[in-house]
Amino acid sequence: MKIIFLGTSGGMPTGKRGSASVAIKRKGELILFDCGEGTQQKMVLAHLGFGGRMRIFISHLHGDHILGLPGLLQTMALLRREHPLYVYGPRGLMEFIKAFSSILGCPSFPLEVFEVLDNGMVFSGSEYIIEAVRADHEGESWSYALAELPRPGKFHPEKAKGLAIPEGPLWRRLQHGEDVKLGDKIVKSAEVVEPQRIGSKIVYSGDTRPNEELVRMAKRADLLIHEATFNDDMEDRAKEDGHSTASQAAEIARAAEVTKLVLTHLSSRYPDPEPMLINARKIFPETQVAEDLMELNIQA
């Protein structure tokens, strides 16, 4: 999976950072977490395209997380998108889309909107699932996890042949992890199939105070993308506004034992993110600060 940080600012954009959005490119499908103002232009710059398979997950209905959606839908319509678009988000998302569509016109392609009502599975595909937990922010806000499903291990037909197992149903059972009986001999699946391949997990916090539920969902994730709106000296303000500091995000990463932490949603008061990075790395060394159009590759 390739992760592209489309917008990394908190609250208002700066000259260098646009409003919140993270794209995940996965086998020709695009998954977006949030869609702040300017997302469509960043998608152009990142060469992501507007016509392909795509799902958008909105964390909450604040302007800096959703105001790129109307323009994105318009551009998709202008380019005669045909694929359906799936958009997930908190209660009120439908009303928001209806409100601007009533003035700007409805999208000409199929648009399916799902409102997240409770913690748990939001989308379940054949290769990955999306889970949500309530974020600790204003109103209804969600954090999301994308978890790839485990894939069966690699099957070695030459080994099966070497053990004189005839091609056919026995091969399939071995491939699916079953041990089989051949005459009076037991052939173990592990003799011809490599171990199951575990998928990657990527977690996106949206806006939130430090949240134990998020620690649970992010457990051993390959990548945690966590907001750090403020630096440590503004912990009181962060608490008041429903946000996290750099060190709080790092504490969450450490508690969840993730592989990597990326800080995003930085307040415009921090033109230089270095001091936040230094604070976070004291707690969780594998930390990076996101920049607009920064790319990361995550592989299980």
Which residues does the annotation mark as catalytic?
A: 64
Chain residues in the site for its own copies (CB under 8 A): 11-15, 18-19, 37-38, 40-41, 44-45, 61-64, 67-68, 70-71, 74-75, 78-79, 92, 95-96, 99-100, 102-104
Nearer to its own copies, 61 or 298 (CB): 61
Q: How far is the CB of 44 from its own copies (least distance, A)?
A: 5
Nearer to its own copies, 273 or 284 (CB): 273
Q: How far is the CB of 91 from its own copies (least distance, A)?
A: 11
Nearer to its own copies, 19 or 141 (CB): 19
Q: How far is the CB of 25 from its own copies (least distance, A)?
A: 18
- 56 bridge partner residues: 32, 87
- Tell me phi and psi for residue 227, to 5 degrees: -70, 145
Q: How far is the CB of 265 from its own copies (least distance, A)?
A: 14
Nearer to its own copies, 96 or 230 (CB): 96
**Nearest-5° Cα angle at 135, 36 to 247:** 90
